[in-house]
Structure 1
Amino acid sequence: MQINREEPAPTPDLAAAIAARVTGRAPNAVARFTTGARHYVYEATFADRQPIVVRIGSASAHAEMAGAVHLSNLLRRRGAPLPAILAQDIQSAFPWIALERLPGVDLGAVMGRLTDAQLDRIAANVARAQAIAYQTGSAGRYGYAIRPEDAPHSAWSQALDAHLARSRRRIASAHLFDVASADIAQRELDAMRDEIDSIPPTPFLHDTTTRNVIVTEEGAFSGIVDVDDLCFGDPRYPAALTLAVLTAQGGPVQYVSAWLRHAGLSDDRLFRMYVLIFLLDLMSEHGQVFNGNQRPSSPEDRAALHRAFERSAARVRS
């Protein structure tokens, strides 16, 4: 979600004060994580105890932070590997949650040096976590929501249309890519609309990509973070996002093949159309302002991303 750049933002001093309140100890240091485009997430370290994570929302993020608390309670009691909530105040001016610090880093920081066997084990753990989310139930509606009855769409294709429309708006505003790329993706979506709308609304964790999947430097799976809402639709969607990221940035795409295999999901033309949608989404992020963690946009990165989009479009059409 894009942040209003005029909106006041949480500070490291606030994170330190929250960490001290939760633990009864002043932290030695507070450092912000450099990934994530919505919330302000800090690691607080101490001399005599394990670190904690302080996750702070903007002044307009109360509903999202409440969703994180609700879904943590829902999913953890079913066995999902989410960090424990140590304390929370989702009513404060900047709503916050203090969490246990899972050992490790985002998968994307280490996956390039992991073996196929390690990646396979991580993929199996992600597939198991997703299977827990699948069992939380739906209300026959599609798209992103905290609770199934609040999902905004009556058909899965409507959720994809909305995704494409957002990418189109961003690309048009930034003027860094040709908005005609959105037309290409939209034509492919329209051609598969009947198949898309036959898909049931399965709940899934939509952001278990190269980020939010925490693994140790040695390649052991620790858990999943930053679950503010679910998506209801085709459970292959986050695997497609992961493949789009790995295709655009370079990385071990066999990890996605392992994920699909462990989950019993197929890599077909529709799945590749999802990848195309997410490549367009990555294009649309260039030139946008989020929460200070946005990646810089370079001509080289944009050219590589555009080539990946063209290759993906050709594969969908073939």
Structure 2
Amino acid sequence: MARQQIKPENDEIDLRELFGVTWQSKWLIIFFSSISALLAVIYVLSLPNIYKSEVLLSPVVADEAMKIPGQLGGLAALAGVNLSGGSGDKTALALEIIKSRDFLGRFITKYDLFVPIMAAKDWNSIENSLIINDKIYDVAKQEWVRKVKAPFLPKPSLLETHEEFLKLLNISKDKATKMVRLSIEYYSPYLAKKWLDLLVIEINDEMRQLEISEAESSLQYLNAQLDKTTIKDVQSMFFSLIEEQTKTLMLANARKEYVLKTVDSAVVAEKKDRPARALIVIFATFLAFSFTVLIVLIRHFSRNTTD
């Protein structure tokens, strides 16, 4: 009895068939791809240009730490005297302060940035002025008109504005070189640069005032303790600590850039940073093309399977 040969079903994909099915539906594919490209063009043209301003900063190198042995070092720490002498901790602290609600809240209030941060929607390059969203802020009446639900008010709170400002601000630190980059992305390249320059000034002033306050408090404590002791070694230690704190005061008052020194200043950007309009249109068109081809092929093979 001869064996009956059973031929397996051919599950291989015929590329010529795929191309033929795609070619038959070429006008449908072209139509949807064109519509997608047109919509993408309309969308990207509605997007405002975003400009980026960046500054490169270097940590100011502090003097070598003062070494005080044993219990005398503990007494110095009790007086609130910083014996570390390193700039790393100051730099890390400064970068955290920049992002803090307290510092940025005072910065926003001092320079009245509520409207530029919360109500601006674009920039008029010809007049060099911001375009304000009239649904959020009425420029003529100088009144907030945005519609919000309780507990929010028409005028944005400091917390809201702080969160929005953090979206504009970027901070990065190179672990190898210790260099710090601050950047702001905004509609106006002029305001981006201005705010960045002000941030550098304000954080250096903030750290300087902090050091001055701590040094003055330490000096008051050290002078008071010096009057109470007659032990020569302790007196010698107090004199050394007083000298260190006096030097700290002198440097804090003399250095304009106390913690972060500008290496490469911020400039007004001449070219936009984003959006990449051409790439968005290309990506949207390719996505529509691929999706339409996929739908055409699925419909074709679904009909063949049903038949």
TM-score range, shorter chain: under 0.3
Q: What is the TM-score normalised by the length of structure 1?
A: 0.22
Kindly indicate which of the two structures has a greater share of residues assigned to helix: 2
Q: Which structure has the larger Rg?
A: 2
Structure with higher RCO (Cα < 8 A, 6+ apart): 2
TM-score by length of 2: 0.23
